[in-house]
A = this chain, B = another copy of it.
């Protein structure tokens, strides 16, 4: 098998930074996952990143993820063992050796968690994921649109509890796994959406782990080369700066394991005199400028520190922070009717249709 690249412990820095950008404010802090991945790579060896086309059609591919509210996750450092436990238990249940690890969600902490399993299991990691970003619910993956069942799914906690789910739909998997995760203390590790190489070739969002790595490198190099880091990211992503401002007000609440809220900004410099509002449910899902909705999910909204260009999570938003908000086009799979039904603004309870920001 030809590998794209071999990922060493030090490469995880860029991937985690890029994962935070694709995290669009949510997906959990990649810092924790980065530490776990670095630890696993040091102990078990580097991870080979592979293009999905390198895998045979009959290969068995399994995504792994951490589930939970970012606000809880930061207080509770998970161990790599739980991830590999879920993975091994699913392998045993399927009765067949798994050939490659897949990333479920390339945004946030889950951009790094698959490296833990790939290192520990000595398996290649597919360059891609099921979202091209972060989303708060586990049926919100392109896999769902390709008829891949989330179950059998194995879910483990840090105490030694585990459960195997078999459900009638991926939405039911989300409901039952969420209830278990909340009960387990707010975070859990899971292996699910097992699929063949043939299905994965159609169902994944390709190249997202390489993209994470390049985004991280772009920021790092901009800093070293005294280039404006936000502009460097904008160029790399074909993104748009949609606002530059200071937070003047922030409301948040945790509902059923999700961090929900609204942040309001007042413009500075080129946006002085303008207002901006961000709505989030773990991730940033809707942006309003001067009272008008301009960007909605599934397009990506991410927020960077105006000076350092470092991504800021919804959880880290604080009164007075000066930030730049970016819009980035989503993977086209999300713009189909099935995609909009899964992750469009109405699913999240916003009374608006998808707002097209990017001419395509």
CB-CB under 8 A for A160 and B168, given A179-B183, A183-B176, A184-B176: yes
Query: What are the residues of chain B within 8 A of A172 when measuring CB–CB?
Result: 159, 161
* 20 CB < 8 A contacts A-B: A159-B168, A161-B166, A161-B167, A161-B168, A161-B172, A162-B165, A162-B166, A162-B167, A163-B163, A163-B165, A163-B166, A163-B176, A164-B164, A176-B180, A176-B183, A176-B184, A178-B183, A179-B179, A179-B183, A180-B180
Query: What are the residues of chain B within 8 A of A166 when measuring CB–CB?
Result: 161-163
Per the 8 Å Cβ criterion, residues 76-91 of A in contact with B are none
Q: How many copies of this chain does the complex contain? A: 2
| CA gap between A172 and B183 in the complex, in Å | 9
| CA gap between A178 and B179 in the complex, in Å | 9
Contact with B along A194-225 (1 / 0, CB 8 A): 00000000000000000000000000000000
| CA gap between A35 and B164 in the complex, in Å | 31
| CA gap between A176 and B157 in the complex, in Å | 11
Q: Does A253 sit within 8 A of B, measured CB to CB?
A: no
Q: Does A234 sit within 8 A of B, measured CB to CB?
A: no
Q: How far is the CB of A294 from chain B (nearest CB, A)?
A: 36
Q: How far is the CB of A107 from chain B (nearest CB, A)?
A: 26
Closest to A181 in B: B179
Q: Does A252 sit within 8 A of B, measured CB to CB?
A: no
A179 interface neighbour in B159, B162, B167, B182, Cβ under 8 Å: B182
| CA gap between A60 and B242 in the complex, in Å | 66
Contact with B along A137-173 (1 / 0, CB 8 A): 0000000000000000000000111111111100010
Q: How far is the CB of A84 from chain B (nearest CB, A)?
A: 16
Q: Does A236 sit within 8 A of B, measured CB to CB?
A: no
Closest to A182 in B: B179
Q: Does A346 sit within 8 A of B, measured CB to CB?
A: no
Q: Which of A163, A165, A175, A180 has the most CB of B within 10 A?
A: A163
Closest to A172 in B: B161
Query: What are the residues of chain B within 8 A of A180 when measuring CB–CB?
Result: 176, 179-180
Q: How far is the CB of A95 from chain B (nearest CB, A)?
A: 13
Contact with B along A18-33 (1 / 0, CB 8 A): 0000000000000000
| CA gap between A178 and B160 in the complex, in Å | 18
Interface pair B183/A175, CB less than 8 Å apart: yes
| CA gap between A165 and B183 in the complex, in Å | 13
Known pairs A159-B172, A161-B168; list 14 more (Cβ under 8 Å). A159-B168, A161-B165, A161-B172, A161-B176, A162-B165, A163-B163, A163-B164, A163-B165, A163-B166, A164-B164, A175-B183, A176-B184, A178-B183, A179-B179
Query: What are the residues of chain B within 8 A of A162 when measuring CB–CB?
Result: 165-167
Query: What are the residues of chain B within 8 A of A167 when measuring CB–CB?
Result: 160-162
